[in-house]
Chains A and B, each alone.
Chain A
């Protein structure tokens, strides 16, 4: 079963508008972390924002905010005031421990965001 689910393969948004990218997760761990990354066509993986499972406040980083709803196990990324440069793939990832107690990231399949002028 998919542990990280990104239900939107592709999204369009008008420049200067806000957009929400969905991410739901599944874990039985009490301690975990949630990450969002941006991957432009160049391939680099750009860290955007992090939310720890014990953080009570939603994380924010500039135009990025993470709408963390623990009971629903969702960690949606909100991008405000979209810019043309925001066009990229966006990945949601969860850090958890595997059967050997090793920490690793579990990845969603990604959402391709296109910002229209």
Chain B
């Protein structure tokens, strides 16, 4: 299947600093990328949808100024957690969808490995 790579796998940062998480599609062009947050023992919560070259669409209740999303190319989207606080500690995971292709490339099937963020 298609490969989506997310980096870093885990990060510890100090309160008040910013953290950038990268999501790359390695073998296909991802016109749309999705960013999720997952609390322990819970399901995935969609934070935002980003389309290449345009502004991200944020879900209700997600602070767009705190969670900055950039999708500048067809293979890279970034999520920046600005002025991180301990309550931002969570597991963040992205998925990517291609377009114009047949089969699963045109679905939301493929996820990155996830990033475990701890803010101290």
Contacts and interface: CB of A to CB of B under 8 A. Distances in A.
With most chain A CB atoms within 10 A of its CB, the pick from B57, B95, B108 is: B108
Contact of A44 (B1, B43, B104, B113): B113
Contacts of A33: 107
With most chain A CB atoms within 10 A of its CB, the pick from B43, B108, B113 is: B43
A89 to B, nearest CB: 8
Given A43-B91, A43-B116, A47-B1, A104 B111 contact: no
DSSP class of A's interface residues: helix, strand, loop or mixed?
strand
Nearest to A45: B111
A26 to B, nearest CB: 16
Interface in B46-87: 46, 49, 57
B110 interface: yes
A64 interface: no
Contact of B43 (A46, A91, A103): A91
A47 B46 contact: no
A102 B31 CA distance: 13
A105 interface: yes
A2 to B, nearest CB: 11
Interface residues of A, number: 21
Nearest to B94: A45
A102 B57 contact: yes
B43 A105 contact: no
Contacts of B91: 43
Contacts of A105: 34, 44, 46, 95, 108
A47 B105 CA distance: 12
Contacts of A100: 57
B93 A45 contact: yes
Q: Lowest 4 A-B CB distances belong to which pairs? A: A45-B111, A43-B114, A47-B109, A107-B43
15 contacts: A35-B107, A42-B113, A43-B38, A43-B91, A44-B112, A44-B113, A44-B114, A47-B104, A50-B104, A91-B43, A100-B57, A104-B108, A105-B34, A105-B95, A110-B43
